[in-house]
Amino acid sequence: MLLVVLLVSAIPRGALADEPAVTASAAAPVATWGRYPLATSGLYPIWEDTGALLQPAQAQLATSGVRVGILPRLQLGLQPSYYIHRAPNLEAKVSIYSSPRLQLAGRLSAIVLFRDAQDRMITPVYASRVVNPSSVVVLAPTSLHVSWQPWSFLVVHGSATVLPMLSNGEDVANTAASGLSAMIELPIVSGNSLLLHAGEVGLWDHDFAYVGASYRLNYRWFLLQLGYAYRLRAEGAQGSPMLNVGVYL
Amino acid sequence: MRRALALSAATLLLASACDWDYYSLMNSIPVEGDPAANPVIHVVLGIDGVPIDAASEAVARGAFPGWRMARHVTSFPGTSDVAWSRILHTTPVESYEYQYYDPQKHELVRNGYTGLLAHTIPLTEKPCYRAFDFSGNGLTNGYYNYRAPQYSLGTTLDNIFTLLEGRVQSRSTKAFLGFIIETDVIGHMQTREDFVAALEVIDRRIELFKAAHPERTWLFTLVSDHGHNFVASPDDKMIRFQNELPKVGVEVVDTLADRGPDSPLAAIPIVHTRVTYLSLNTVQEQAPEVAKRVSTFEFVDLAIAKIPAPEGARPEGLAWYAIWKGGELALAFGHDSATDRYHVLPGGDPAALEMGWLLEESAEGLSDEMLFARTLESVYPDLLYKTRTGLEPVGIRFPAQVLVSFAQPFASVGFEVPGGANEVATSIFHGAMHRKDSLGVVLTEERDLPPAFRSDNFLEFFPAVRRHLESRLSLSPSVDANESLDYAQVFP
């Protein structure tokens, strides 16, 4: 899959679409407020992202993602805080189609959960429902993301994800789960957006759904996104704060 | 650019210290196990501070049908950190409270606001709580516990059952421990009815969970770490012990460095949480006199301290302890650790402790089993064992030299915030030696239980839980060498 991503990324700009712009965000005339007034990534882990990419040689250094535009259609990134929790990870995102109002991207990630990943929380007030005392688990979420801006005040980000979970099977079965998610972004004032988040994971084999809301600010190089989501399962709801603070360089 | 980089580095560092992203990740991964690999799951829910009275009432209303219930005779002082450390045999905590006196450094640790903040900023976790697979419900848990304990209970149960359902997908999971602190808070701040209602909620949630997951056999156990006395203490019954000690000629100090047996009487009162006991650090040689003097206060029920071996006492080599009540010695006894027998010193007034029979039956020493059985229905169940282990490094590293058990309806005021919010948590209390403060409960559908058992023996009754803990933590084989009881002797 990584090969496919790299091959697609190597296709010259314009071969897949007439529009030269790589991201809608980049095309928006809002340079005074921030280079990326609209979301360039998801906030909820694994299951959401956008169709937008960073421009080549530009970077986002943030708590929920260090990402760098490598080629016109390729962006590489990682989740830095997972490394603090000893969960190495990497992601590649490639633009498949891009026009001022519509972007389509594919993303391939790999996250390694070493044994006893449930014990890696820094504070004692958060716990994991996944435990792997006997196995190293590799997550390889593979996804398609679309960002569509029908009007200037509305952007819809949709994601379809397949999450293969691979291990030696000593703890849990090797499975692949699917999920759909959407972010509704309302750019209320230049550089300021309200976002509504929702997702369904498992689909026909329902696992959980989530709903949330966040506020995003990009002023010049500064990026802040703060929100809260609830994961909804038959057993109960889990509140989950979400924060992304960083800079665009 | 340099400023941006510096800011980004600082921001990364700050936010990385926060678990939010990882928490979301680890709870957003669908997992699937094989019920045949672990068809039976032992689930222990630590229900903090639930007394036997409230549990009995909930059962009488129909909760926990078919479960077995036992009185859980918990340790003294009845405060959670040391109690859970003893119940689960985890690494000893420093002392009875966050704030304590370190006799090696001769200083008060987490004194003042730092001790208060330790309750609300969960950056570290005591080993006894690390034993639980779930012990906290997010950064705001400490706030919602007190602001809206019923809401907090709901979110805690949501989290517990969500984690439980996920964790059992791993074939290695045979047991799960969840900690519910909200029951203790409901006890402190609300009514007995609220307490019972909270237990009924827990019962309903358990039944709903079991009905939704018939693919496994779930064996639930609820265990509490201490009781609650159901006696409110209005402000005029709140004791500021530091103000009282000078009235009996005991100076209040904040270090015992450079103090000896011949120094003027002095002690360090640990006035930290709102409870019905108090620990006093003093020079060991002064402890009996300090205990005797503080027992004269009307708000003190009992004061206990270690004493030197009485002259001519037989057998030799025993560790000796004493209990004062109303300024008089009520009971002095020695403990033979080799035989686990207790020897009572003639004199005193055991009848004041509802133990008038004690002197007549103590010629050969009294067995632990006999004492447990004979004191079980008294005001002070398991009094001698609790006195002895309360003053020794059992479950803690730094025991106090004097422990005070308050008379009802008095309580130690605890930490006071200048300017307000001091009226909270005055409904009911725990901590004292009195049976209402100290009788907790064990409710289980896993096995038969004796009518009552010592909380230090909890893991003996639930070996699957012990194995689960041992797979994750280093446990003490025993918190006290003589903790075990032969329950066939206790309940023939």
- Whether B35 and chain A come into contact, CB under 8 Å, resolves to no
pLDDT digits (tens, 9 = 90+) for B165-198: 999 999 999 999 999 999 998 888 888 899 999 9
Q: What is the pLDDT of residues A179-216, one digit of tens each?
A: 999 999 999 888 899 999 999 999 999 999 999 999 99
Number of structural domains (chain A) is 1
Check pLDDT > 80 for residue A8.
no
At B316, the pLDDT band (50, 70, 90 cuts) reads: confident
For range A162-175, the mean pLDDT = 91
Residues 6+ apart with CB under 8 A from B129: A124, B84, B135, B136, B179
- What is the domain extent for residue A26? 2-248
Percent of chain B with pLDDT over 70: 91
Q: Taking residues B269-279, what's their average pLDDT?
A: 89
Which residue in the set B16, B130, B141 is minimally distant from A80, CB to CB? B16
CB of B77 closer than 8 Å to CB of B375: no
- Interface contact B124, partner A, CB < 8 A: yes
> Contacts of residue A172 in chain B, CB cutoff 8 Å?
31-33, 169-171
For the stretch B53-109, pLDDT in tens is: 999 999 999 999 999 999 999 999 999 999 999 999 999 999 998 888 999 999 988
Under an 8 A CB cutoff, do B165 and A124 touch? no
Helix axes of B182-189 and B149-167: crossing angle, nearest 10 degrees: 170
Q: With 60 as the cut, is the pLDDT of residue B15 above it?
A: no
Q: What is the pLDDT of residues A10-21, one digit of tens each?
A: 444 444 344 333
Residue A172 contacts B where some CB pair is shorter than 8 Å:
yes
What is the domain-level CATH number for residue A197? 2.40.160
Q: Do B21 and A79 touch (CB under 8 A)?
A: yes
Mutate to test the interface with B, among A58, A83, A219, A238 (most CBs of B within 10 A): A238
> What pLDDT shows up at residue B8?
54
What residues are paired with A130 via a beta bridge?
Answer: none
Report the range of poorest mean pLDDT among A46-55, A201-210, B153-162, B265-274.
Answer: B265-274
pLDDT band at B121 (very low <50, low <70, confident <90, very high): low
Q: Which of A157, A155, A152, A150 is nearest to A50 (CA)?
A: A157
Name the least confident of B58-67, B110-119, B151-160, B444-453.
Answer: B110-119
Between B232 and A70, the more confident residue is A70
DSSP secondary structure of B332-387: EEEEETTTTEEEEPS-S-GGGGT-TTTGGG-TT-EEHHHHHHHHTTSSSTTHHHHH
| Cβ atoms B230, B457 nearer than 8 A | no
For residues B391 and B111, which has the higher predicted lDDT (pLDDT)? B391
pLDDT of residue B387: 97
- Sort out which chain A residues have CB atoms less than 8 A from B28's CB and list them: 44-47, 201, 208, 210, 231
pLDDT at res. B16: 43
pLDDT of residue B63: 96
B276 pLDDT higher than 80: yes
Shortest distance between the Cα of B472 and any Cα of chain A, in A, equals 10
- A-to-B residue pairs, Cβ atoms closer than 8 angstroms: 211
- Going along B172-284, which residue ranges are E strands? 175-180, 217-223, 238-239, 251-252, 266-269, 277-281
Write the CA distances from B191 to A247, B197, B198, B232, B429, integer angstroms.
Answer: 51, 10, 11, 10, 12
Determine the longest span between alpha carbons in chain B, in angstroms: 86
Q: What is the pLDDT of residue A35?
A: 79
Mean pLDDT, chain B, rounded, equals: 90
CB A197 within 8 A of CB A229: yes
- Asked whether the predicted pLDDT for residue B230 surpasses 70, the reply is yes
Per-residue pLDDT tens over the stretch B323-356:
999 999 999 999 999 999 999 988 889 999 999 8
Sign of the dihedral through C-alpha B130, B136, B140, B144: negative
Q: Is the pLDDT of residue B486 over 60?
A: yes
Taking alpha carbons only, the member of A38, A73, A31, A77 closest to residue A56 is A73
The alpha carbon of B21 is separated from its chain's Cα centroid by a whole number of angstroms, namely 33
How many CA atoms lie within 13 Å of A84's alpha carbon, on the beta-carbon side? 21
- SS3 state at B411: strand
pLDDT in tens, B407-438: 999 988 877 666 655 566 667 888 999 999 99
Of B447, B448, B433, residue with least CA distance to B388: B433
CB contact under 8 A, B20 and A210: no
Answer yes or no: are the C-beta atoms of A186 and A154 closer than 8 Å. Answer: yes
Instruction: For chain B, say whether A178 makes contact (Cβ under 8 Å).
Output: no
Per-residue pLDDT at B118 exceeds 70:
no
Contact B19, A126 (CB under 8 A): yes
- What is d(CA B148, CA B154) in angstroms, rounded to the nearest whole number? 10
Would you give the DSSP letter of residue B285?
Answer: G
Pairing mode, strands B107-109 and B341-344: unpaired
Of the listed ranges A8-17, A60-69, B107-116, the least confidently predicted one is A8-17
Q: Which domains does chain B have, with CATH numbers?
A: 33-231+431-490 (3.40.720.10), 235-412 (no CATH)
Q: What is the pLDDT of residues B433-458, one digit of tens each?
A: 999 999 999 999 999 999 999 999 99
Instruction: Please tell me the predicted confidence (pLDDT) of residue A19.
Output: 38
Report CB contact under 8 Å: A128, B23.
Answer: yes
